[in-house]
Structure 1
Amino acid sequence: MSVIKNFEVVNAYNMDLTYFLTFREVAYHQSFTKAAGELGYAQSSVTMQIQKLEQLYGVKLFERYGRGLKLTMSGEELLKMTVQMLDLFEQSKGALTRQAGGTVTIGTIDSLASYYLPPFIEQIRKQYPALTIRVQTDREAAIVEKVREGEYDIGLLLENKPSDNQLKWMRIREEPLIMVSAAHPLTATSVLHLDRLHDQEWLMSESTCNYRMMLERVLVDEQIPYRIALELGNPEAIKRCLKAGMGIALLPRMAVIDELERGELVELPFTHSDIRLDLYVVLHPKKWISHALRTFIDSIQ
């Protein structure tokens, strides 16, 4: 095969699907100008793509018809095959996306795993039935470390600010932190000031929990003495003890929304600017994002 023929074969195989998309738009609008506007291209780019298709096939695809264009017989034949080819391409993308397998590993904290993630996981499983999803609960600092090391594909965290600037952080929303109790004299207060928390009995999450650390920092800074009645490892245990009539607790609203609606727990009228958290997705900036992982991230955003 000659050098020229080799060059022609390479060009044919390198022909981008974009050229056929452009050809279909020109045929539909019967105008280079309208097709360029629809596609967001310069008209010269549209003209160049059609010329390259004509050079590839060795035929004229359009001819002038008054002020517009119309397809030649060769153009009409190519349009039929182009429509089929582009439809088949879209079908192939959809089929491979639906059948995408593999594993997505999500590092998160107990409250998000229990109260936030389940509907999103159900949604992604319907779209990607072959996908394996692993949800690993851990401490906030450990999650950030394992995202950095690539052990977790993404992390889902409650933080007041990004803790590692080398990672990519996407803020989803503010997640309210609220004080709750079952039957406590403070629930009758219209506005709860810090001084009313003097010597209160608390049910606390583990010492590494970031919203516990926020609360204790505020109490110490304001010189408000407090007592820890129980230290418990997860929100469910804290809620059970609260419903048994023990003390007060600080928890994410998502963790207690059902109990509040049923009247089993009551929100205390307290807010503080230094006690707030945002919901973040964190991932490594060089992490390859699969179709399934992109769909999951988009759904929670």
Structure 2
Amino acid sequence: MRYTLRQLEVFLATANSENISRAADQLAMSQSAASGALRELENQFQVQLFDRVGKRLHLNERGRSLRPSAQALIEQAATIESELAGQATSGHLRIGATLTVGNYLAVGMIAQFREQYPQASVALEVANTEHIAAAVANFQLDVGLIEGELHHPELDIIHWRDDELIAFAAPDHPLAQRKSLQDDDLKKARWIVREPGSGTRQTFDRAMHGLLSELEIDLELQHTEAIKRAVEAGLGIGCLSRICLKEAFARGSLVPLDIHWRDFSRSFSIILHRHKYRGPALLNWLQLCHTMPV
């Protein structure tokens, strides 16, 4: 074999960081050793895997083509090492989740997963849909749990569970006293909503089709809890997932608004890179996702 796993590790770390110094730090190597390993890999096959722009190294077409196979091979090698050590489900699992899923579902799932598989380590990154999709496509995350619609040529998008958004207000808000709202009520209200790029905002915009340009979007916030606090303070009305409003509705600090003629339904999805190697830890995580109660 004319290449080594270490060379592939250097290649992948450099692809992720676009910098040989950061790649060396990640692999606990000297910069010269990392540079030598990458240079030797390219020289052995007389190929160039990166376009070099100053200190930054950008994957070229050949490097992008190699990356999925190299990633899968390194992960398969880690699986073999775990199996030889008698650790069926071990290793490091990198999970990405959008804010609603991350804050209200994923943490409990991780606790359950670690209880079942204590030898596996799990890291969670919470961000909006666009960020999580980009990180999964770039192999920076192993799997993503997202809300809203997504189309990406490099990702498998698997339906996970159904959800819906609910419009809500503080109990003393004038609209809270209405049994059912009309479009004129929605146009007169001040809205506090998620930022563009989030799955929640995507669903909100779709549901308000034909009316969106006439709505008064007063605040766009990145965090669901900030939106809930702002609505509780009487700054406007909001629209979030039923999942993150359950406790507030139960204690009466927020109340739902009836806009039943508009479609706020949506799906949560699992996303994976099409060429992602699905080792034991990832397969067990996917099984947990599909068996958890709705």
TM exceeding 0.5? yes
2:159/2:269 contact within 8 Å kept:
yes
Q: SS state of the match for residue 239, structure 2?
A: strand
What is the aligned-residue identity percentage? 27
Letter matched to residue 114 of structure 1: N
1:270 aligns with 2:259: yes
2:157 to 169, 172, 175: 169
After superposition, residues 82-97 of structure 1 pair within 5 angstroms as: 96-97=87-88
Matching residue's letter, 1:212: R
- Quickly say closer, same or farther: Cα 1:124–1:106, change in 2 above 3 A: same
Kindly tell me: are residues 250 and 191 of structure 1, through their superposed partners in 2, closer, same or farther at Cα, counting changes over 3 Å?
same
CA gap of 1:271–1:210, structure 2 versus 1, over 3 A, is: farther
Q: Judging changes above 3 Å, is the alpha-carbon distance between structure 1 residues 276 and 146 closer, same or farther for their aligned structure 2 residues?
A: same
Indicate the residue corresponding to 1:298 in structure 2: 287
Structure 1: which 5+ residue stretches go unaligned?
1-91
Segment drifting more, 220-229 vs 168-177:
220-229
Which structure would you say has the larger Rg? 1
Please say if residues 173 and 278 of structure 1, whose CA atoms lie closer than 8 Å, have aligned partners that are also in contact. yes
**C-alpha distance in 2 between matches for 1:288 and 1:181:** 45
Rounded to whole Å, the distance in 2 between the matches of 1:111 and 1:223 is 23
- Find the counterpart in structure 2 of residue 238 from structure 1: 227
Determine if contact 2:146/2:199 at 8 Å carries over to the other structure: no
Q: How many equivalent pairs are there? A: 207
Q: Which amino acid aligns with 2:109?
A: F
Root-mean-square deviation (CA, aligned residues, Å) is: 2.4
How far apart, CA to CA, are the structure 1 residues paired with 2:238 and 2:209? 17
Q: Secondary structure of the residue that 1:286 maps to in structure 2?
A: coil
Tell me the secondary structure at the aligned position of residue 118 of structure 1. Answer: helix
Residue of structure 2 aligned with 1:182, choices 167, 170, 180 = 170
Q: Residue 166 of structure 2 aligns to which amino acid in structure 1?
A: I
SS of the residue corresponding to residue 116 of structure 1 reads helix
| Match of residue 201, structure 1, among 190, 197, 219 | 190
Task: Compute the TM-score of the two structures, normalised by the length of structure 2.
Answer: 0.64
Do residues 261 (structure 1) and 250 (structure 2) align?
yes
Task: Give the TM-score taking structure 1 as reference length.
Answer: 0.62
Superposed displacement of residue 208, structure 1: 2.4
Native 8 Å contact 1:197 1:224 kept in 2: no
Tell me if the contact between 1:199 and 1:224 (Cα under 8 Å) persists in the aligned partners.
Answer: no
Note the 1:134-173 alignment, pairs <5 A. 134-160=123-149, 162-173=150-161
Single out whichever of 123-132 and 209-218 deviates more from structure 2: 209-218
The answer as to 2:87 corresponding to 1:102 is no
